[in-house]
Amino acid sequence: MIDAVLVLFVITSLLALGGLAYFSNPRGKVNRLFASMVLWAAIWAASNFLESEVRNPTVASFLLRLDFASAALLAYFFLLFCVNFPSPSLRWKTKEYIVFIPITALALLSFSSLIVRDIGAYRGGLQLQFGRGYLFWIYALCLFGYMAVGCTNLVIKWKKFSGIPKVQVSYVLLGLSLSAFPALFINLILSQIIDLSLTISRLGIYGILFFGGLTTYAIVTYRLMDINVAITRGTVFAVVYTFVLGIPVAVGFWGRTYLSGRIGVNWWLVPVGMALVQRASEIPGESNCAGKTDDFNQGFEESSGFDYSQCHKGNRN
């Protein structure tokens, strides 16, 4: 139940981020690529979760193949987003079509036995088993290659840029790295070595939270992708309260069995006590967050002439 709630939260967050990026500037190339990337990430997360939950072998087989196909297309849009962020790259216009051919072929072949085959039956509590097709390692190397090229491009830009663009690239690079490479390693490498529990196999999905969190912070604080979000003290406080006071809630969900076995029926006093202590301490740092936001808004307006009462049009490429 908790796994389902977490995965649903990840998928909802991804779709919300993608929608925010796209509708803030539908004609902006970077915004469209970002929206496409998070859409395929959401499809991958959903199929990866459901493939080990359904008991119908036909449906499970389809979801596993959709898992591989969506991961391939995710890698493609990941690469394009990296090379075009924060502004479209003219040097990659032709290369975009070249890199599209092999990854699309692999995505289509995911529905054959050339990449995955001998898909096993439902195994409660364990990841769905499958055999490697003739092209499995080519598929894996291709995905790692696309991810590596994308991240390398961001590293080069990070060294080259300065100021706010460099900060934006830093958050995107860190978020993508923390979510992409662990997911690839767990699902393509580790799954071929040992039998994975569902908890371990889904760490790649939960890792997307790093990407979502860092991207959201960059959008709110540094106007990532020219997304204009009205920032108020109330917004900052709401975010801080949600995350900090969410800690005892998480303890209540995940630690219920452990705590009840140690202190009996009064286990609920632990998370409630944590919430009261945190509230009594007035959540340190909230005033600093608001002050930082106000300072940034004022400094950015003075240096760039940006008026937050107007919607930023962004690039039209």
Q: Percentages helix, strand, coil for the chain, rounded to the nearest 5?
A: 75, 0, 25
Rounded mean pLDDT, 182-191: 79
The pLDDT of residue 288 is: 47
What's the sign of the alpha-carbon dihedral 122, 126, 131, 133? positive
User: Looking at residue 174, what is its pLDDT?
Assistant: 86
Confidence of residue 13 (pLDDT cuts 50, 70, 90): confident
Give ∠ CA 18-23-27 in degrees, rounded to 5.
105
pLDDT tens digits along 248-260 = 555 555 455 555 5
More confident residue, 258 or 32: 32
User: What residues are paired with 126 via a beta bridge?
Assistant: 197
Mean pLDDT of 288-300: 47
β-strands 116-117, 131-132 pairing: antiparallel
Interval 45-74: pLDDT, tens = 999 888 888 888 889 899 999 999 999 999
pLDDT tens per residue, range 122-148 = 666 566 778 889 999 999 999 999 999
Give the whole-angstrom CA distance, residue 257 versus residue 81: 43
Question: Could you give all domains of the chain from N- to C-terminal order, each with its CATH number?
Answer: 2-226 (1.20.1070.10), 234-304 (no CATH)
For the chain, what percent of residues have pLDDT higher than 70? 65
pLDDT tens-digit series, residues 84-102: 987 888 888 888 889 999 9
Please say if the pLDDT value at position 226 is more than 70.
no
Q: For residue 42, how many other CB atoms are within 10 A of its CB?
A: 21
pLDDT of residue 256: 53
Distance, CA of 26 to CA of 30 (rounded, Å): 10
Q: What is the reported pLDDT for 191?
A: 73
Quote the pLDDT of residue 261. 56
Residue 315 reports pLDDT greater than 50 = no
Locate 229 and state its tokens: 């979000």
The pair of three-digit structure tokens given for residue 282, joined into one six-digit string: 């007035």
Q: What single-letter DSSP state applies at residue 191?
A: G
**Average pLDDT over all residues of the chain:** 74
| Better pLDDT: 104 or 286 | 104
Hey, is 116 helix, strand or coil?
Answer: strand
Task: Report, as an integer, the average pLDDT of 270-290.
Answer: 52
Query: pLDDT by residue (tens digit) across 152-171?
Result: 998 999 999 888 888 888 88
Query: Which range has the worst mean pLDDT, 193-197, 210-214, 258-262?
Result: 258-262
